[in-house]
């Protein structure tokens, strides 16, 4: 059985084993770090081995050697870009699938603001799937539901981490022409428990339940994004990635990521989606005019189907091919796994006894000089951005 062969440090939390078990004896539970892991009722196990066959920690997928291509891409609609984490490509792809009476599967915030995978059927649902969620999602029985839709002939687009895409393909066994897959350049999966503790601390401070969570609010610009939380009482919390303790712990310090993310098997070319999506960080160094700080996407087509997907939205986007080595200069996590904080294990012990903000501050605080550098950089960024906006409004005629 899979729990005998895969340690916690290798488990990616995909839930494929629970979806495939014919006896239904594999349940998914949170461990003490808040990550989902499989639990097997061994007394009822029939030793069929299916859970081992679908585990991405144990298996590899043989894919074709289609030449990968990189593109700079952004939606033609400014409103789409403003409401997307980067350039709005996911929205345009999802819209195309829905037009074909297909379904789009990705992560949403549910009514409790937990992150779960969800099947979108209508165009109004796409908004729930947009934007980055910096916390690992609960998958539940989503793979089984996807298979059911595929067997009915429904077009399905699945969006997930590279390991989730690999798990889905292992679960499905055969290739489906009506399945379209997107992964993204993934830093790593953050603990749902830590996210919940963080949110509860803010809800206590603002004396209200959180209503809307946005990890990538862009009013200060795409490159200086903020987390914004709107509460039911109308209060608003907003801080940029350097001053919010959750974003600091996740992005800057690697404090509360899943253990398997430090030795990820799905880096570089070892990914099995049709399309890889990402922010095109450093796009202005390739061509200055491509960076208006509203968000620009990097798209990597990994298969012929991926090329067809991009071609299918050509009327809705600006796109231009860019050599992959240049396109990926600002995305080191395409190739490399994260290096976990040396304080990771201590953090997970201390979080059970202390406030979230105090615990992160203990392990992540860099001191006054670093804070000053960031303040100066942010002020300069704001001045430059305002200058660009003013210049764009000048009539030179």
Tens-place pLDDT, residues 279-304 = 999 999 999 999 999 999 999 999 99
Q: Look-up: residue for tokens 């990538």?
A: 216
* Residue 369 pLDDT exceeds 60: no
pLDDT at 62: 67
How many angstroms separate the CA atoms of 178 and 96, rounded? 13
* Residue 94 pLDDT exceeds 70: yes
pTM for the whole structure: 0.90
Please identify, among 53, 72, 88, the residue that sits at the C-terminal boundary of a domain: 53
How many angstroms separate the CA atoms of 234 and 206, rounded? 10
Of 13-17, 96-100, 219-223, 372-376, the least confident: 372-376
Give the DSSP letter string of 311-363: HHTGGGEEEEEE-HHHHTTT-GGGT------TTHHHHHHHTTTS-HHHHHHHH
| C-alpha distances out from residue 269 to 13, 124, 335, 359, Å | 22, 34, 8, 37
In the numeric block, which tokens belong to residue 136?
A: 């690992």
Please tell me whether residues 184 and 309 are part of one structural domain.
yes
How many angstroms separate the CA atoms of 395 and 397, rounded? 6
Query: Is position 397 within any domain?
Result: no
Provide mean pLDDT across the span 333-340.
96
How many angstroms separate the CA atoms of 307 and 127, rounded? 24
Please tell me whether residues 128 and 15 are part of one structural domain.
no
With H, G, I as helix, E, B as strand and everything else as coil, classify residue 32. coil
Query: Is position 102 within any domain?
Result: yes
Please tell me whether residues 195 and 235 are part of one structural domain.
yes
Please tell me whether residues 202 and 308 are part of one structural domain.
yes
With H, G, I as helix, E, B as strand and everything else as coil, classify residue 46. coil
Instruction: Name which of 32, 42, 37, 41 is nearest 15 in CA terms.
Output: 37
Query: Is position 188 within any domain?
Result: yes
Beta bridge partners of 40: 26
Please tell me whether residues 223 and 252 are part of one structural domain.
yes
In the numeric block, which tokens belong to residue 89?
A: 């490509």
The continuous run of DSSP H or E covering 96 comes out as helix 89-99
Please tell me whether residues 24 and 106 are part of one structural domain.
no
Please identify, among 35, 53, 71, the residue that sits at the C-terminal boundary of a domain: 53
Query: Is position 187 within any domain?
Result: yes
Residue 265: Cβ-neighbour burial (10 angstroms; 0-12, 13-18, 19+): middle
Please tell me whether residues 7 and 107 are part of one structural domain.
no
pLDDT band at residue 375 under the 50/70/90 scheme: low
The continuous run of DSSP H or E covering 4 comes out as helix 2-5
Query: Is position 7 within any domain?
Result: yes
**Which residue range is the domain that position 117 belongs to?**
62-392
How many angstroms separate the CA atoms of 108 and 111, rounded? 10
Please tell me whether residues 44 and 68 are part of one structural domain.
no
Provide mean pLDDT across the span 337-362.
95
pLDDT at 210: 98
Query: Is position 222 within any domain?
Result: yes
As a whole number, the mean pLDDT across the chain is: 91
Please tell me whether residues 92 and 160 are part of one structural domain.
yes
Query: Is position 36 within any domain?
Result: yes
Quote the distance between the C-alpha of residue 342 and its chain's center: 24
pLDDT band at residue 65 under the 50/70/90 scheme: confident
Tens-place pLDDT, residues 177-232 = 999 999 999 999 999 999 999 999 999 999 999 999 999 999 999 999 999 999 99
* Residue 54 pLDDT exceeds 80: yes
| C-alpha distances out from residue 352 to 32, 194, 210, 262, Å | 10, 10, 22, 23
With H, G, I as helix, E, B as strand and everything else as coil, classify residue 113. coil
Helical spans, DSSP H, in 137-211: 142-151, 162-172, 192-206
Provide mean pLDDT across the span 308-334.
97
Please tell me whether residues 115 and 189 are part of one structural domain.
yes
pLDDT at 367: 46
pLDDT at 393: 41
- Our count of domains for the chain comes to 2
Query: Is position 170 within any domain?
Result: yes
Provide mean pLDDT across the span 1-20.
87
Is beta strand 179-184 parallel, antiparallel or unpaired with respect to 115-120? unpaired
Instruction: Name which of 348, 163, 331 is nearest 249 in CA terms.
Output: 348
Please tell me whether residues 232 and 354 are part of one structural domain.
yes
| N-term to C-term CA, the chain | 74
Tens-place pLDDT, residues 268-281 = 989 999 999 999 99
Please tell me whether residues 288 and 368 are part of one structural domain.
yes
How many angstroms separate the CA atoms of 128 and 200, rounded? 22
């Amino acid at each position: 059985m899979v729990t005998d062969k895969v340690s916690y440090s290798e488990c990616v939390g995909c839930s494929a084993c629970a979806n495939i078990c014919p006896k239904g004896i594999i349940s998914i539970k949170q461990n003490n770090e808040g990550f989902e892991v499989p639990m097997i009722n061994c007394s009822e196990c029939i030793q069929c081995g299916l859970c081992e066959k679908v585990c991405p920690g144990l298996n590899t997928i043989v894919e074709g050697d289609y030449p990968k291509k990189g593109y700079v891409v952004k939606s033609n609609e400014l409103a789409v870009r403003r409401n997307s984490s980067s350039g709005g490509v996911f929205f345009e792809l999802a819209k195309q699938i829905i037009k074909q009476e297909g379904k789009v599967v990705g992560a949403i915030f549910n009514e409790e603001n937990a992150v779960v995978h969800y099947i979108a059927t209508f165009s109004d649902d796409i908004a729930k799937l947009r934007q980055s969620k910096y916390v690992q999602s609960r998958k539940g029985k989503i793979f089984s539901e996807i298979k059911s839709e595929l067997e009915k002939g429904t077009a399905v687009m699945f969006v997930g981490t590279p390991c989730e895409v690999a798990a889905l393909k292992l679960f499905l066994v055969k290739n489906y022409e009506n399945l379209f897959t997107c992964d993204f350049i993934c830093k790593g999966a953050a603990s749902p428990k830590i996210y919940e503790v963080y949110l509860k601390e803010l809800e206590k401070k603002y004396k209200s339940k959180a209503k809307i969570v946005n990890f990538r609010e862009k009013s200060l610009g795409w490159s200086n994004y903020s987390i914004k939380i709107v509460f039911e009482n109308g209060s608003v919390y907003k801080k940029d990635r350097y001053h919010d303790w959750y974003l600091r712990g996740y992005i800057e310090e690697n404090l509360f990521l899943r253990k398997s993310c430090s030795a990820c098997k799905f880096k570089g070319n070892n990914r099995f989606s049709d399309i890889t999506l990402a922010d095109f960080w450093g796009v202005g160094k390739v061509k200055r005019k491509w960076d208006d700080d509203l968000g620009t996407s990097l798209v990597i087509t990994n298969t012929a189907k991926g090329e067809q997907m991009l071609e299918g939205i050509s009327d809705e986007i600006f796109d231009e091919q860019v050599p992959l080595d240049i396109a990926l200069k600002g995305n080191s996590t395409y190739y490399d796994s994260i290096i976990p904080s040396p304080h990771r294990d201590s953090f997970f012990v201390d979080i059970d006894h202390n406030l979230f903000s105090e615990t992160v501050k203990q392990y992540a605080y860099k001191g006054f000089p670093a804070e000053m550098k960031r303040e100066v950089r942010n002020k300069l960024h704001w001045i430059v951005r305002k200058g660009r906006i003013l210049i764009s409004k000048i009539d030179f005629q």
